């Protein structure tokens, strides 16, 4: 069962977290997942170098509101730039800074960032240690390794803890696997056994059965939910053992908040995308998606959603 989790003095109401997801976990969506029960949510992956150069779009990724706990995720490969980001005005309100050492995307890895840092553990340690000097709580999210022949989960976990991280999240797949296949419970369990700091297990958690299996087989202190929250943010209700409320009023509010913060065009693209995810598996989903992606205004999306979600009783 979900339980309270203390992370270096930051008390999370439960140990079921929302993963940082590029293109998805903006403020209104994080707020929605928190409302449904997520114990902690993270911003999208934010470039430390983008902050350094004052990129406006990068800064907008850190938009936040009255969240009780705020966690941001940074990526980069230069210790001084990452520490500067942790100490920046843009991150002053955040309670926890997560360092991305797990992203498997080629455009990130080829720059020596994301999961590439697992191949350079000395640099990874230096990055963590520099960021810790900022005075912020620092966590690290990483994978089990690059491929099946080069798994190093427990060793990397110990390096993270030794460098000062107060929390680690282990995605139970290698870079090579990306998001396919079952999570490697044994590797996550090895990381948990290797450190004293809390360990969050990520990968393959779609429902309460998956969550319980993950916790039982790894001994992890909590779980992190990613794609399941894209398809239905009410997954957190289910994981908390609560009933799922109707989606429609929450979706209509999401449209309004996305538009108010990011503008009409962004809200249109984002909400069409999310509505399509939420319709997956329902009757007539393919036709509904076509209609959604033909919509040219958020008002049209709201009107279509009112019909489509009502038809499904969602």
Dump pLDDT digits (tens) for 207-263: 999 999 999 999 999 999 999 999 999 999 999 999 999 999 999 999 999 999 999
The answer to whether the CB of 85 falls within 8 A of the CB of 91 is yes
What is the pLDDT at residue 223?
98
What is the model's pLDDT at position 313? 52
The pLDDT of residue 314 is above 60: no
pTM here is 0.94
Cα–Cα distance measured from residue 78 to residue 90, given in angstroms and rounded to the nearest whole number? 18
- The active-site residue, picked from 103, 131, 152, 160, is 103
Q: What are the pLDDT digits (tens) for 156-175?
A: 999 999 999 999 999 999 99
Helix then strand then coil, % of the chain, to nearest 5 = 50, 15, 35
Q: Which two tokens stand for residue 2?
A: 């979900």
Whether the predicted pLDDT of 83 surpasses 90: yes
Q: What SS3 class is residue 12?
A: strand
- When pLDDT is cut at 50, 70 and 90, the band that residue 312 belongs to is low
Architecture of domain 248-312 in this structure: Orthogonal Bundle (1.10)
237 is catalytic: no
User: Could you read off the pLDDT of 97-133 as tens digits, one per residue?
Assistant: 999 999 999 999 999 999 999 999 999 999 999 999 9
How far lies 184's CA from each of 22, 99, 119, 145, in Å? 23, 21, 19, 11
Domain spans in the chain, listed from the N-terminal domain onward: 5-239, 248-312
| Alpha carbons 127 and 51: distance in angstroms, whole number | 16
CATH number of the domain at 5-239, please? Answer: 3.20.20.70
């Amino acid at each position: 069962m979900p339980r309270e989790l203390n992370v270096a003095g930051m008390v999370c109401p439960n140990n079921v977290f929302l993963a940082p997801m590029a293109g998805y976990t903006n403020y209104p969506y994080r707020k929605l997942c928190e409302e449904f029960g997520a114990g902690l949510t993270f911003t999208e992956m934010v470039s430390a170098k983008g902050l350094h150069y004052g990129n406006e779009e990068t800064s907008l990724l850190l938009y936040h509101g009255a969240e009780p706990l705020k966690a941001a995720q940074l990526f980069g490969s230069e210790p001084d730039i990452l520490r500067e980001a942790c100490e920046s005005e843009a991150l002053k309100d955040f309670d926890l800074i997560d360092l991305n050492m797990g992203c498997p995307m080629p455009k990130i890895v080829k720059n020596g960032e994301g999961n590439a840092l697992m191949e350079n553990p000395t640099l990874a340690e230096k990055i963590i240690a520099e960021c810790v000097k900022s005075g912020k709580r620092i966590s690290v999210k990483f994978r089990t390794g690059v491929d099946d022949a080069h798994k190093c989960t427990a060793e990397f976990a110990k390096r993270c803890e030794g460098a000062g991280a107060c929390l680690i999240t282990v995605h139970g797949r290698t870079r090579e696997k990306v998001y396919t296949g079952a999570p490697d419970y044994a590797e996550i369990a090895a990381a948990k056994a290797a450190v004293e700091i809390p360990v969050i297990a990520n990968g393959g958690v779609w429902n309460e059965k998956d969550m319980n299996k993950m916790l039982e087989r790894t001994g992890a202190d909590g779980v992190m939910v990613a794609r399941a929250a894209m398809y239905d943010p009410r997954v957190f209700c289910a994981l908390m053992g609560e009933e799922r409320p109707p989606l429609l009023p929450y979706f209509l509010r999401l449209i309004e908040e996305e538009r108010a913060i990011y503008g009409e065009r962004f809200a249109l693209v984002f909400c069409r995308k999310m509505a399509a995810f939420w319709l997956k598996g329902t009757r007539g989903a393919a036709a509904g998606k076509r209609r959604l992606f033909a919509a040219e205004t958020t008002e049209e999306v709201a009107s279509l959603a009112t019909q489509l979600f009502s038809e499904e009783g969602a």
